[in-house]
Structures are given as structure tokens and as C-alpha cells.
Homo-oligomer: A and B are copies of this chain.
């Protein structure tokens, strides 16, 4: 087995101890690097531990660069990898540190490194974490169309409601424009309620109350959509193997064609 093959099993495989260890170590290094980016942004820490952060950052960048080069080397189609989603995420994880040499002062550039966090999900994907996640995502996908209709209706409601409150409050006390008033409508209807914009007129308060109760009621809609989708999702896989009829629940014989199939004792 060549070095390339061995690396392949370690980097992509989860069936060897080395492969599993590689994933676990990488997971912790990614979390550490995200933590560094976060703590570096805290003014007190960033100033006092400037040197420490600088050293850790370079060590991590070198590790990630090595990993990136190995991934390119062992990939069967290097070009495809480089321009794939994960390839770009990997590049964005290391590029800002190198660019900080040339582009001094571009402070926020370094923040891009936070996207390293996404790499956690690739590692988890490898260790077969994602079977259950798949079920969740399937359920959400199947209800995507209904949810998008809901959101279109929601956007129309907040636009009209924001315009009404803009007229009612007379463009004063924060309700200075329609977009600003739509921001208020979203804050209200989602029950976030920052309190930075609140109605001051009697009519404004009345409309706000209506907005809150509407928001309180329509949160039931996405919840209902997702619950029904998940409830259906749990029945997936219990189709008749003979005639292909779907959703033959809890039956030992397909009640469509009579074919016996092995019952799954579902948990």
C-alpha cells in the first residue's frame, strides 16, 4: 500500500483506528481554531495575548494547509475537489491568515476564518453521524414548498403591517420610514420584541396588539407543517416489496397485493 493509499484510508476512512483518530483529532483542532478566532475578537484578550494568539494561529494554519495539500494530493479528481463546496471552505480557512501578511489593517478579513466551523460537519459526516440528521433534513425538505408559501404570506403581512404602523405613528419615534417600520413588524410578529421601537399612539398600540396575536397564532402554521412532515417521515421504508405500494403501516401482509414481507419490529 503506497503512502497515498494509506493517507486516503486515514483521511477519508472511518474503518481503521488511525482513520477514527484522525477525525477526532481534526474535530478538536477545528473547535480550538474557532475558539481562537472568537477569543481574539474580545478587546481585552486580543490586546493582552496578542503574541499567544499569533503563534497558535500560525501553528493551526500550517496544520490546515498541510491537510489541504494532502486532500488535493490524494483526491482522485483534485480540480473537482478544489472547486467543490468543501474545497472552498478549506481554502477560506487558511487564506485569511496568509493574506494578513499583505493586507495589513484589514481586520475583519481574519473573521472569515470562523467558517472553519463548517468543517466540523464534514468530520461528523464521515463518522456516520448523519443518518439521523438525514431523516430530519428529508422531513424539512418535503415541507419546504409549504413553508415557502408560509414565508411569502408572512413577508406580505409584515410589509402591509409595517406600512400601516408607519402611517399611524406618523413617522415619529423611530418609525421614520417604511423599511424601518417593516423591521418593527418583524420584531413584533416573531415575538422577539426588542423594545427599541415601540408604538406610542393609542391606535399604534391597538395595531401592535393585533400583530402580536397574529404572530402568536401563525407560529402554529410552520410547527404544524413540520410536525406532520416528521410524522409522515417516520413511516418511510415500510413500503410493500412486492407491488411497491407505500405507507402499508404495521402490516405483515401488504394489504394491497397480499405479498408477505418481513415485518420490521420498529422501535
Contacts A34-B159, A246-B265: A212 and B224 contacting too (C-beta < 8 A)? no
Residues of B within 8 A of A265 (CB): 244-246
Within 8 A of B (CB), among A117-150: 117-118, 120-121, 124, 129, 132-133, 135-136, 139-140, 142, 145-147, 149-150
Q: Is the CB of A41 within 8 A of B177?
A: yes
Q: Is the CB of B230 within 8 A of A232?
A: no
| A66 interface residue per 8 A CB criterion | no
| A14 interface residue per 8 A CB criterion | no
Cβ contacts A to B, 15 pairs, < 8 Å? A41-B177, A42-B180, A114-B163, A182-B209, A183-B208, A186-B209, A192-B193, A219-B222, A223-B226, A224-B226, A224-B227, A224-B229, A225-B230, A228-B231, A246-B267
Chain B residue nearest in CB terms to A186: B209
- Report, as a range, how many residues of chain A touch the other chain: 35 or more
Q: Is the CB of A178 within 8 A of B220?
A: no
| A251 interface residue per 8 A CB criterion | yes
A positions within 8 Å CB-CB of B: 34, 37-39, 41-43, 108, 111, 114-115, 117-118, 120-121, 124, 129, 132-133, 135-136, 139-140, 142, 145-147, 149-152, 154, 156, 159-160, 163, 166-167, 171, 176-180, 182-183, 186-188, 190-196, 198, 202, 205, 208-209, 212-213, 215-217, 219-232, 234, 244-253, 255-257, 263, 265-267
Q: Is the CB of A256 within 8 A of B247?
A: no
